[in-house]
Amino acid sequence: MTERTAPETGTPPGAAANEKPTPNGAATPDPAGAASVTPALQTDADGTASAAVTPEAGAAAVDADGSASASKVVATAKADGTGSAARTAETGAAAARADGAGSASSAGESEVAAAKADGTGSAARTAETGAAAGKADGAGSATAAGESEVAAARADGTAPAAHTPETDADAAKADGAPTSGVAAATAGDSDAVPAKADGVGEGSAARVPEARHAAPDEVVDAADGDVGTDDDGDAGAVDDDRTAAAGPVGPDADAAAGDGAERPVVLRLTDVVKTFPGVRALDGVQLEVRAGEVHCLLGQNGAGKSTLIKVLSGAHQPDSGTVEWLGEAVRFANPQAANKAGIATIYQELDLVDDLSIGENAFLGHEPRVAGFVRRGTINKRTRDILARLGHGEIAPNRMVRTLPAAGKQVVSMARALSHDAKLIIMDEPSAVLAHDEVENLFRIIRELTAQGIAVIYISHRLEEIREIGDRVTVLKDGRTTAANLAARTTPTRELVSRMTGRTIEYVFPDRADKPPVADELLRVEGLGRPGEFTDVSLTVGKGEIVGIAGLVGSGRSELLETIFGARQAQSGKIYVNGKALRPGAVGAAVRAGMGMAPEERKTQALLLGEPIYRNMTLSTFSRIAKFGFTDAGKERVEAGKVADRLELRPRDVRRPVGTLSGGNQQKVVVGRWLLGDTQLLLLDEPTRGVDVGARAELYQVIHALAAQGVGVLLVSSEVPEVLGLSDRVVVMREGRVVRQARAGELDEDTVLDLVMAGSLMEGAPA
Amino acid sequence: MTGLPAQTAPAVKEALGGGPEPEGPRGNGWWKSDAGESTRRNLALIAVLAGLILIGIITKPDLYGQEGWWISNVWAILKLGSTVGVIAVGMTFVIIGGGIDLSVGAIIALAGVWSTTVATQEMGTFFMILTALTVGVGVGLINGFLISYGRLVPFIATLAMLVAARGLAAWISNKQTQQTDNRTINAIAAESFLGVPLLVWILGIVVLLGWVLLNRTTFGRRTVAIGGNVEAARLAGINVRLHTMMLYALAGLCCGIGAIMLTSIGTSAQAAMATNYELDAIAAVIIGGTLLSGGRGTIVGSLLGVVIFSTITNLFTLNALSSEVQNMVKGGIIVAAVLIQQFRFNSVSLFFKRNRVTAPS
Amino acid sequence: MTQHDPVRRRFLLGGAALGAGALLAACTSNESGGDNNNAQTQGNNNASPNANSAPGKKVTIGFSAPAADHGWIAAITSNAKAQAAEYSDVTFSTVEAGADAAAQRSALSTMISQKPDVIVLLPHDGKELNAFGLEAMKAGIPVVNLDRAFPDALAYRLQIKGDNYGMGVAAGNYIAAQMKAKGVSAPIIGEIAGIDNLELTQERTAGFNAALAANGMKVANRRAAQFTVDSGQAEMSQLLQALPKMDALWNHDDDQGIGVLAAANQANRKEFLMVGGAGSKAAIEAIQADNSVLKCTVTYSPSMASSAISLARLIAQGKGMSDLVELQVPKEIILASETITKENASTYLPLGFS
């Protein structure tokens, strides 16, 4: 669900902290007789005010004496006779006008952060259309067109702070009340000096698109003393966040920060779908990227980020949905077309040619030519200019790429992007190959680029980077956009994580009978370590016990599981099964000792997609079923059929190729494999990833039933509720270490999230 | 089997509501499913073969009219392809298992030469056969060891062996042609049993054993698993390295058998024998439907591939056509076979639907 | 599987490996009672001593021929070596000719730097090494060009080769005569040639066709083998299918002829008359024994290498051939292709190569 349509129930996603949910309302009576359509969110009528959600039709503004407004969603309408706050739709609805009170304004996607009308001020976030500035008599008004964001509107009669977009919005003018200080906010590319409202001057402080990072102080100033912390913490809280969370000051002192909302949209994806045989990689992606912003893309492995990148870069074409680039619907037939259009991609595995020079790499495929001859001098010169733009004028363009470190190679990739005159650069996990100080340099370059109006799509797992460099965040999950255009610095971590991994419906966990706390020890791991992956891990799993490992990607969980299973060789530590030491690094030994593992990527690590279900199920046991080396396919089918029944496999025919199954059923096949043998200990790595709800619940049942029979289960999952709901005991890992072990009942989701994420949050940011 | 609840709890079931049947392969029935694909392909090959024979009948009715000629031609075709057929069986296993073996021709030469040296010939028939087989298996094991445990890429390892084995064969034989006077050996290529030439018997037995091994034994199952998804096989507990080595040893064994056959055919062995047999074997295996990437293939298909190529040679000779054109035709067939492999029946209809070929990333 | 199995398995494998290794090592020996290598040298078969063979000035002969993958080529090299050994005043040095003409070129340039007195060269390909011949001659080193001819007369001091065309003619004439003698009016004639890419094969076929045409006959079906036994057998087996009844067959090369004969035996076909080529010992013996379809062979003898060495020595020593009036060795010698049949087989037997 995107932000555009606010749900009728529940909190609109991504909205700032404290929206008050409003009930379904009935159509508002029109006090003034004008039509107001749609459900009112909150009617607080003391005769006048109405809040109304209007459809996208250009409903006329309701002119109500003393109130009114047509608009989409009233976040909080509080009419004490006068003011109203309104979120208006994309149509150019006229600004609501309220006499005698402030009004919220108009068109487009305006969001009222916190509208507080105490008769005067209003804050409004107005949309892209050139809505007329709302005018309020007697009070400051929020202004105008385009993507304005009101940082913190605090009307106590005077100054509003407003973000104005690139459009030529008239500066907000307030009669009778001075608006903030010095420079009028006007057309986009101005650097507004922080506006100070001291009740006198005109103009407003505007945050202007080009500059990226606000000095936090400036932000505060813009709202200044007049705009302090709101009592009920609405806008003010937001403001504080920004103060707190603002990153390093941009090099340009004049630059005022923007959270990326006022600039024009350069890229918009609508309901993009991309399927490959057997898998729906993108299942309705919405994405909106504005010029000069750093738009972060969050999502787990398998969420569809790589496919999305490939679609954007022209390597794949979407099956349905629209891609709009610079306002026009486009369809890139190949990467060259995308490059020509101004979209450049920097892949994680840098696609550079080591044996060519920097300049040659930068212009690879589109070298400037004369009659077929490459103009090397031109290449070198242009490369030098580009490198200077990136702040690396000291690098010689004829140097061999082979001689560069990873950070240098990344700069070359960016140079290549710029050589295409890119207006959008997509970076796939760029910090993965960099050291800490190199990351700083990378960010500096990114800021330079965005200052020049280039948009950046930045993909990373690391929340701290997203906080530092990002403007807005879009979260992908299972090929869908679960959240779009969240504020990068202020959206709570918990929300981001839950959007990445969480469920939209409740988990269905079977009841877990109380288990005695002490069970016979089945698996004991002591001091297991693999350099670079995990260190000094010790844990135990008892018979019939379910132990869950919580942690984020990169915390070493999967590697731990594979090492226990023998797929990787441990550098230190020991593994004991039933008290006996296990030969490390040998899968065969682990299997013989009674272990089974369902790997993280079932398609590439566990299944033979072209083979029938029963053969996949018997992959570990066909030798045992066979007689004198001759396979007994009939018996295999019978045994597989039994497991398929128990697991409620759909379709039931075990002769079908396993590649035709849904994800959930495929996972059942993998788990079922170990049910055929004498498995005593089951290692499950993300067992329900990519699995539909129904199959999930069935898998939980299976796991519980196994435990009830005495099988020990060690499972890894990124979904904290799942870990907590299934396990008897929980092991929390972070960055390769065990940070906490406890019984599941002693922990709750927040605690675990904190443990899993701590250290990657900025101080003071909301948890 | 590890225990499970007899039924999923009713509450859960209710919550699930049962899911829809996921899409199966296009159409229903075994015929059109993936399992039937290899049968479809083999039938297509048989059709091609029938077509070639038909061309022969049309172009040379006088020959086909002669009494007894037709059956002698069949034996001639099968005998022509018998040696390549035997090594194609071994090659099928190697390729299904995800590898390749470029050294098979060289192994035949080495085994042949080694088994026909003066010393070996003096030891008698049994030792000649034993030497050929041992050399074949031994060299195969070296290949397998280098690939499995030395982690060499199969292409490189077997390419090196190709050169080295021929060199060793030339050294042992002193670059001379070593004739055998051993009557038993020479009889293999000359005699028949129940009307069927012995060479064809050997081919038939090797093909049958190969089929059983691939389709009915755990060895074959492991081969398919490793070729289909080596990681999945490893994580399921299969000893991938050992098994891969065994595959190359098997190919080497087939080469040993082929060496005996070829020695008998030529009543001699020389370092230059079986030149380019590796390419013929690989080509036959590929047009027979085995995926070069591994995980899928049939013995019958490889046999059909060999017979098709032999029939083409026969056809050209019957019509006194030059060999250059013959080679071009062979090349064309290989290309066509690989292209067909990439367009499976599902994809073809998708192709017409979407007007382009999609490939998963 | 029990714990013991891995250990036991390894032990068994190790023992088997050792046993196999020992067995195999024993089998590589190729020494036999008689002398394998029946070199054809002048000393061997020429009873009368030659004035020219008396020792004279010491000379170095540089020799290069393609690597032997084939009996005839192997015989060239061994004949040259043996002939050189007969002379006490000759130092014989060889360079590996490599796999192709380019490799031979670079090998030969090292030879030039060693400044031999005379070079005897059988090139991979006459045209490709012509330039080398010119270079050596210019450098003052006389070149004896063996078998595969340099097109340029300035590139060699002496060109000694067999008569490929004449081979074909001899074979054709023999077959024609035999067919006429048997009263076959329109004989069905087959031909199994060698590597078609070589010019000499083309020349042989040309001579064969010419001789047959002169007698009103022609080749019914021609296949090209690779001078190897198994290729000869394969081509012959198919040819026999194409010609259910054949009157005569010419096989260009006796080495591949082993395979050709084997195919004929395996197919139980005896109704035709076969002529061989090159004159190997085995072929001559078979002709003598008259127990197969092989009735005749036309020589293309590797003894030319021995002659080349002898003449090279003479050139280096500045002498001429004793039977000639002229004082210098001739410019070109084309050895006649002799027809060997049962009647004269015994005379030629010592000349047969293995």
* Touching chains, A (3+ CB pairs < 8 A): B
Burial class (CB in 10 A: 0-12, 13-18, 19+), C112: middle
Going by pLDDT thresholds of 50, 70 and 90, the confidence category of residue B307 is very high
Instruction: Please report, for residues A463, A471, A552, A749, the alpha-carbon distance to residue A494 in angstroms, rounded to integers and kept in the order given.
Output: 11, 18, 13, 10
State the pLDDT at residue A216.
35
Q: For C225, which residue in chain B has the nearest alpha carbon?
A: B323
Q: Is the fold of A263-342+422-502 the same as that of A521-757?
A: yes
Q: Which of B174, B272, B317 sits opposite C223 (nearest CB)?
A: B317
Q: pTM of the full predicted structure?
A: 0.69
Residue (of B4, B42, B228, B37) closest to A615 by Cα position:
B228
Q: What is the pLDDT of residue B342?
A: 67
Measured distance CA(A21)–CA(C90) in Å, rounded:
111
Q: Which position has the token pair 């606000």?
A: A214
Can you give the pLDDT at residue B204? Answer: 97
- Could you give the CA distance from residue A416 to residue A398 in angstroms, rounded to a whole number? 14
Q: How distant is the Cα of B176 from the closest Cα of chain A, in angstroms?
A: 44
Tokens of C194: 């060698």
pLDDT tens-digit readout, A223-234: 333 333 333 333
Q: Are C60 and C117 in contact (CB under 8 A)?
A: yes
CATH of domain C42-162+302-323: 3.40.50.2300
Place of tokens 């013959």: B326
CATH topology of domain C164-299: Rossmann fold (3.40.50)
A65: its two tokens:
């004496």
Using the beta-carbon criterion (under 8 Å), do C29 and B73 form an inter-chain contact? no
Which chains share 3+ C-beta pairs under 8 angstroms with B?
A: A, C
Q: What is the distance between the alpha carbons of residues C253 and C233, in angstroms, rounded to a whole number?
A: 12
Tell the residue number behind the tokens 């899911």, with chain if given.
B19
The yes-or-no verdict on residue A198 having pLDDT over 70 is no
Rounded to a whole number, what is the distance in Å from the CA of C284 to chain B's nearest CA?
15
Alpha carbon distances (Å) from B317 to A236, C126, C275 = 93, 31, 21
Pick the CATH number of B46-55+70-338 from 1.10.3470, 1.10.12, 1.10.3120, 1.10.3210: 1.10.3470
Nearest to A673 by CA among A660, A662, A687: A687
Contacts of A565 in chain B (CB under 8 A): 235
pLDDT for res A516 = 57
pLDDT in tens, C181-192: 999 889 999 999
Identify the burial level of C245 via C-beta atoms within 10 angstroms of its C-beta, where 0-12 means exposed, 13-18 middle and 19 or more buried: exposed
CB contact under 8 A, B8 and A698: yes
Distances (CA, A) of B93 to B214, B243, B259, C9, C39: 8, 11, 19, 24, 47
Does residue C327 contact residue C259 with C-beta atoms inside 8 Å? Answer: no
- CB within 8 Å of A552: residues ≥ 6 apart: A461, A718, A734, A756, A757
Mean pLDDT of the residues in chain C: 85
Q: Which residues of chain B make contact with C240, given a CB cutoff of 8 A?
A: 76
Report d(CA A723, CA A747) in Å as an integer: 11
pLDDT of residue B353: 53
Environment class of residue C107 by beta-carbon count within 10 Å: exposed (0-12), middle (13-18) or buried (19+)? middle
Beta strand A595-598 with A681-685 is parallel
Q: Which of helix, strand or coil describes residue A549?
A: strand
At C51, the pLDDT band (50, 70, 90 cuts) reads low
CB contact under 8 A, C233 and B318: no
Q: Identify the three-state secondary structure at position A28.
A: coil
Rounded Cα gap, residues B95 and B288, in angstroms: 12
Nearest by CB to A705, which of B1, B4, B220? B4
In DSSP terms, which residues pair with B359 in a beta bridge? none
Interface size between A and B, measured as CB pairs under 8 A:
152
Determine the Cα–Cα distance for residues A471 and A257; give it in Å rounded to an integer.
10
Higher pLDDT, C237 or B66: C237
B234 to chain A: nearest residue by CA?
A587
**Best C13, C238, C291 residue to mutate vs chain B (most B CBs within 10 Å):** C238
How close is the nearest chain A Cα to the Cα of B357, in Å? 11
Sheet arrangement for strand C189-193:
C219-224, C189-193, C248-251, C273-278, C294-299, C339-341
- To the nearest whole Å, the CA of B50 is away from the closest chain C CA by 19
When scoring B1, B23, B238 by the number of chain A Cβ atoms within 10 A, the one with the most, hence best to mutate, is B1
Closest partner CB to A587 (pick from B2, B218, B235): B235
Report which of residues B286 and A239 the model is more confident about.
B286
Round to the nearest angstrom and report the end-to-end CA distance of chain B. 38
Residue B361 has a CB neighbour count (10 Å cut-off) of 11
CA-based nearest distance B324→chain C, Å:
10
Other C-beta atoms closer than 10 Å to the C-beta of C33 total 6
CA angle C126, C132, C134 (to 5 degrees): 100
> To the nearest whole angstrom, how far is the Cα of A632 from the nearest Cα of chain B?
8
Between B82-96 and B240-266, two packed helices, what is the crossing angle to 10 degrees?
Answer: 170
Residue A83: pLDDT band (50, 70, 90) is: very low
Degrees (nearest 5) of the Cα angle A82, A85, A86?
Answer: 130
A356 by Cβ neighbours in 10 Å (0-12 / 13-18 / 19+) ranks as middle
Name the segment(s) of chain C with CATH classification 3.40.50.2300: 42-162+302-323, 164-299
User: Which phi and psi (to 5°) does residue A546 adopt?
Assistant: -110, 120
A611: which chain B residues are within 8 Å (Cβ-Cβ)? Answer: 224-225, 228
How far, rounded to the nearest angstrom, does the alpha carbon of residue C63 sit from its chain's CA centroid? 16
Distance CA C226, CA A292 (A): 71
Q: Which of residues 252-281 of C touch B (CB under 8 A)?
A: 255, 258-259, 262, 265-267
**How large is the ipTM?**
0.81
Q: Which of residues 57-76 of C touch B (CB under 8 A)?
A: 67-71, 74
How sure is the predictor about A48, in pLDDT bands with cuts at 50, 70 and 90? very low
In the prediction, which pLDDT does A702 show?
87
- Residue pair A36/A42 in contact (Cβ under 8 Å)? The answer is no
Residue A710 has pLDDT above 90, yes or no: no
**pLDDT per position as a tens digit, C80-116:** 999 999 888 899 988 877 778 888 888 888 888 888 9
Q: Which residue in C35, C70, C79, C266 has the most chain B C-beta atoms within 10 A of its own C-beta, making it the best mutation to test that interface?
A: C266
CA distance B194 to chain C (A): 16
Least confident of A432-446, A678-692, C326-340: A432-446
What is the distance between the terminal CA atoms of chain C, rounded to a whole angstrom? 57
Name every residue whose Cβ is closer than 8 Å to that of residue A583 and which is 6 or more positions away in sequence. Answer: A566, A589
Chain C residues closer than 8 Å to B170 by CB: 69
What are the structural domain ranges in chain A?
A: 1-249, 263-342+422-502, 354-421, 521-757
Per-residue pLDDT for A629 more than 50?
Answer: yes
Which residue in chain B has the smallest CA separation from C241?
A: B73
Hey, what amino acid is at A100?
G
Residue of B nearest to C354 (CA): B176
Is A165 within 8 Å of A149 (Cβ atoms)? no
- Identity at A467, one-letter amino acid code: R
Partners of C224 on chain B (C-beta within 8 Å) are: 323
Calculate mean pLDDT across residues B15-24.
38
User: Are the beta carbons of B136 and B87 closer than 8 angstroms?
Assistant: no
Quote the minimal CA–CA distance from B146 to chain A in Å: 20
Residue with tokens 């060495």: C309
Map residue A301 onto helix, strand or coil. coil
Q: For residue A701, give the chain B residue with the closest CA.
A: B8
H helix runs in chain B, sequence order: 10-16, 37-59, 61-65, 69-80, 82-96, 104-115, 118-123, 125-148, 154-173, 183-190, 198-216, 218-228, 230-235, 240-266, 277-287, 299-318, 323-342, 345-354
Q: Of A136-140, A634-638, A724-728, which range is least confident?
A: A136-140
Q: What is the pLDDT of residue A408?
A: 83
Q: Quick one: closest CA in A to B213, which residue?
A: A630
The Cα of B23 is separated from the nearest Cα of chain C by a number of Å equal to 42
Residue indicated by tokens 């590597």: C195
Residues making up chain A, counted from first to last: 767
Tell me the shortest Cα–Cα distance from B344 to chain A, in angstroms.
12
* Of the ranges A271-285, B29-43, B271-285, the best mean pLDDT one: B271-285
Beta carbons of B225 and B233 less than 8 angstroms apart: yes
- The class (CATH top level) of A521-757 is alpha beta
C202 interface with B at CB cutoff 8 Å: no
Residues of C in contact with B272 (CB under 8 A): 69-70, 226, 228
Beta strands in chain C (DSSP E): 59-64, 90-94, 118-121, 143-146, 158-162, 189-193, 219-224, 248-251, 273-278, 294-299, 332-335, 339-341
* C-beta separation of C258 from C240 below 8 A: no
Distance in angstroms (rounded) separating the CA atoms of residues B163 and B169? 10
Range of lowest pLDDT (A265-279, A362-376, B298-312, B333-347):
B333-347
% pLDDT > 90, chain C? 42
Contact A607 B34 (CB under 8 A): no
Cβ of B265 within 8 Å of Cβ of C28? The answer is no
Query: Which residue in chain B is spatially nearest to A702 when comparing CA positions?
Result: B4
Domain A263-342+422-502: what homologous superfamily? Answer: P-loop containing nucleotide triphosphate hydrolases (3.40.50.300)
Contact B176 C229 (CB under 8 A): no
Q: Please give the C-alpha separations between residue B167 and each of B107, B216, C68, in angstroms, as whole numbers.
A: 11, 39, 12
Are B268 and C36 an interchain contact pair (Cβ–Cβ within 8 Å)?
no
- Determine phi and psi for B76, rounding to 5 degrees: -60, -40
According to DSSP, residue C194 is labeled S
Query: If we measure between CA atoms, which residue out of B255, B117, B165, B109 comes closest to residue C26?
Result: B117
Give the residue with greater pLDDT, A176 vs A669: A669
CB A273 within 8 A of CB A282: yes
Q: Of B228, B233, B239, which has the smallest distance from its Cβ to A610's Cβ?
A: B228
Element of type H or E holding A275: strand A265-276
Cβ <8 Å between B361 and A306: yes
Q: Are strands C219-224 and C189-193 parallel, antiparallel or unpaired?
A: parallel
Q: Residue type for B182, please?
A: N
Q: Please answer whether residues A488 and A291 qualify as being in contact, where contact means their C-beta atoms are separated by less than 8 angstroms.
A: no
Is pLDDT above 90 for A598?
yes
Which residues in chain B have Cβ-Cβ distances shorter than 8 Å to A651? 21-22, 24
Nearest Cα of chain C lies from the Cα of B78 at a distance, in angstroms, of 11
Distance CA B326, CA A752 (A): 72
Mutate to test the interface with B, among A511, A701, A709, A726 (most CBs of B within 10 A): A701
Q: What pLDDT shows up at residue A685?
A: 92
Contacts of B348 in chain A (CB under 8 A): none
Of the candidates C266, C212, C200, C211, which has an alpha carbon nearest to the alpha carbon of residue C239?
Answer: C266
